[in-house]
Amino acid sequence: MSNLYVISGSSGVGKGTVIKEFLSQNPQFKLSVSCTTRSKREGEKEGVNYFFLSEKEFKNCVNNNEFLEWAEFSGNFYGTKRDFVQQSLKNGENLILEIDTKGALNVKRIMPEAILIFIAPPSLEELESRLRGRHTETEEAIQKRLASIKAEIENSKHYDYVIVNDTVENAVNCLKNIINSKS
Ligand code: 5GP
């Protein structure tokens, strides 16, 4: 049986690292590549991290109903391609979406069978220092992201599972246990 896992977590919580580690140990799982209007960070690749679109291109996809869900996050747009998700599930593949909490709750409304997993920081102070430690965002962007954390934590109350990312190893093990229990 194929499952759809939707994983969210506040910026800087390390969810990318946890998912990457999980996927390296479980290559049979597929990660959906989202579309975004935000600019490419150093080291990011088109079609690997995201499909980088202009606002006009993104709006065209919205108007053509190409997204399963989309959301504005920190002043940029992000969306999940509907075709990709439907095709992967049809092919019997287990799929992971790494999306924000608004998008995740929208997915759950459309596809109640989706399994929602929230990766939480050990503490808010820890999260802020991780976010600053990345040196990838301006102060203004960091402030915006910190402001959205409260809403994300509120939304996480509707998730099926919450994993506290104290260490990557523990978080990956928790993720494996949750996923194993579903397959
Ligand atoms: P970042 O800019 O740090 O890569 O991502 C910012 C936020 O957007 C993260 O919370 C990430 O999970 C979320 N995100 C990435 N892709 C999508 C998507 O397709 N849909 C939604 N709703 N959120 C996304």
Contact assessment for residue 182 and residue 115, using Cβ atoms and an 8 Å cutoff: yes
Confidence category of residue 135, pLDDT binned at 50, 70, 90: confident
Q: Which atom of ligand 1 is nearest to the CA of 32?
A: 19
Q: Which atom of ligand 1 is nearest to the CA of 104?
A: 22
Q: What is the pLDDT of residues 25-82, one digit of tens each?
A: 999 999 999 999 999 999 999 999 999 999 999 999 999 999 999 999 878 999 999 9
Q: Which residues line ligand 1 (CB under 6 A)?
A: 8, 11, 34, 38, 69, 71, 73, 78-80, 98-100, 102-103
pTM: 0.91
Other residues' Cβ atoms within 10 Å of the Cβ of residue 21: 17
Between CA 66 and CA 61 the distance in angstroms is 5
Q: What is the pLDDT of residues 10-40, one digit of tens each?
A: 767 789 999 999 999 999 999 999 999 999 9
Which tokens belong to 15?
């969810």
Q: Which atom of ligand 1 is nearest to the CA of 7?
A: 12
Q: What is the CA radius of gyration of the chain?
A: 16
pLDDT at 148: 79
Nearest to 32 by CA among 5, 2, 60, 71: 5
For the cut 80, the answer to whether the pLDDT of residue 93 exceeds it is yes
Between CA 166 and CA 156 the distance in angstroms is 17
Between CA 4 and CA 164 the distance in angstroms is 21
Distance 78 CA to ligand 1 centre (A): 6
Residue given tokens 């990011």 in the structure block: 44
Helix (H) or strand (E) holding 51: strand 50-52
Beta bridge partners of 98: 7
One-letter identity of residue 97: L
